[in-house]
Each structure stands twice: as structure tokens, then as C-alpha cells.
Amino acid sequence: MKRLAPAALVLLFLSTVAAQQTGLTDAQLKAAEVEVGKLVEALELKPGMTMADVGAGFGAWTMRFSRSLGPVGRVYATDIGAAQLAALRETVQRERLANVTVLEGAVSSTNLPALCCDAILIRDAYHHLTQAEDIIRSFAASLKPGGRLAVVDFPPRPNSEVPAGVPANRGGHGVPPEVVQREVGAALTYVRTIPNWAPDSQPASLYLVLFRKP
């Protein structure tokens, strides 16, 4: 088994403390640790760039993107839940994440500034969108030309119900990657789909669909 360096052990300890204080789970912290390096590569992110973590939840991915982009980069963390927004703001203050801006999103808009982002991530949240067409337009408006959007989600679970207000074409709790390709592809250029995106992450059976703004 690979042994962690002392600095990594300290970071893991601090992240665990943060999880206990903000509602983050060990599974989320581990998933973020596994995925963010891969996401930085897929989204072609470099230090100093600006990205948005849409549906950021309690901030596990936001924290790691903040470190990846460095002090002159920028991370927008958005959510629509009051508890999530409060936890995000607490984390930003506690961890002194000076390059993170927390924004309250809406059902039909990310509320991100126009042309602000080199990249956007929406992870484990697309299948909950009730007004996907509006949100997709919001994504497109917030991306710079050439900017990338990554949708990370999972196929519909067998014998599951579509969440209230979500289009029936999802076929259950989740969303088929083909639906994501078609819907987002109406506004952004489809790049590729990566099935079995993070086998060791949670939830299971994740895929990534990547798009680029012309």
C-alpha cells in the first residue's frame, strides 16, 4: 500500500476535520481527491484560469480546484440549497480560500457572470435539473470562447423514479449520457464521452460528457 508523505497526511487530517464541520463525507473527500486531477486535465485547466463548480454541494471539489488554480486563479462555487451555501461560505472563510467566490444559483440560471469561465463542472446534479434548457443557455453565456463544460453524472438506476419536476426522458433517477449529449449539444460543441469515469468514486457508474464553446 502506498504510504502518504507527512504533508499529505496533514492535508488529509485537515480535510477530515473540515468534513466533520460542514457535512462533507469521507466518500466525497476521497472522490474529489481521485477526480480533480483528471478533471483539470479534461478541462485543460491551468493555474490562473477561472472555473465554476456548479452544484458545488458542501465544497469538496471546490477546495481542490482552488488549490489547483492557485492564488491568481478563480473558482466560482454555486448551489441553490441554503445549507450548502452556508457550508460553502464557512469553508471558504475557514480554509482562507481567497480565490473562491460563492454564488447562489437559481432553478433556471447559474447566476454566473457573462464570459467569466474557462471551464465549468456540473457533477452529480444534471439529473436533478428541472429547466435544463435554461441552465444550458446559462452555461454557454458564462463560458469564454473555447471554454469547456464537463457533465459528470450516472445512467438512470433500474426501477427508480424520475425526481419530481424532471423531464420523463431521463428514464429514472439519473440521466442517460445520450440525453446529455443531445441537450447540451444544442448550445455547445460535443467533444467526447468518457464512460466509467471514476470507478473508485461515488456514486458508482459515473460517466463524463465533455463539451466546448465555439
For residue range 128-167, list pLDDT tens digits in order.
Answer: 999 999 999 999 999 999 999 999 999 999 999 999 999 9
With respect to residue 186, please indicate whether it lies within any of the assigned structural domains.
yes
pLDDT > 70? residue 15: no
Beta strands at 117-123 and 50-54: parallel, antiparallel or unpaired = parallel
Within-domain flag for 58: yes
What single string gives the DSSP state of each residue in 183-198? HHHTTSEEEEEESS--
Structure confidence at residue 22 as a pLDDT band (50, 70, 90): low
- DSSP summary character for residue 80: S
1 within domain boundaries:
no
pLDDT digits 0-9 by tens, 82-138 = 999 999 999 999 999 999 999 999 999 999 999 999 999 999 999 999 999 999 999
The three three-digit cell numbers of residue 192, written as one number: 467526447
List of E strands, the chain = 50-54, 74-79, 100-104, 117-123, 143-153, 189-194, 207-212
Residue among 42, 53, 44 at smallest CA distance from 210 = 42
Region 170-183: what's the mean pLDDT? 98
Closest listed residue to residue 53, CA positions, set 76, 73, 72, 70: 76
Q: What is the pLDDT of residue 54?
A: 98
pLDDT at 203: 80
The CATH code of the domain that includes 100 is 3.40.50.150
Under the banding of pLDDT at 50, 70 and 90, the label for residue 8 is very low
Q: Are 99 and 66 in contact (CB under 8 A)?
A: yes
Measured CA to CA in angstroms, residue 102 lies from 19, 122, 129 at distances of: 18, 15, 20
Does 197 score more than 90 pLDDT? yes
Q: Would 159 be classed as within a structural domain?
A: yes
Query: Across the beta sheet with 207-212, what order do the strands follow?
Result: 100-104, 74-79, 50-54, 117-123, 143-153, 207-212, 189-194
- Overall number of domains in the chain: 1
Tell me the average pLDDT across 54-76.
Answer: 96
Query: Can you give 102-147 as a three-state secondary structure string?
Result: EEECCCCCCCCCCCCEEEEEEECCHHHCCCHHHHHHHHHHHEEEEE
Could you tell me the three cell numbers for 125?
A: 446534479
Residue 89: domain span: 6-212
Query: 198 vs 121, 152, 153, 205, CA distance in Å?
Result: 15, 10, 11, 8
Residue 129 belongs to a domain: yes
Q: Residue 16 is placed in which grid cell?
A: 477530515
Higher-confidence residue: 142 or 28? 142
pLDDT average, residue stretch 29-48: 94
Tell me if 63 is assigned to some domain.
Answer: yes
| Per-residue confidence (pLDDT) for residue 140, from 0 to 100 | 98
Q: Looking at the domain assignment, is residue 164 inside a domain?
A: yes
Has residue 49 been placed in a domain?
yes
Q: What is the mean pLDDT of the chain?
A: 90
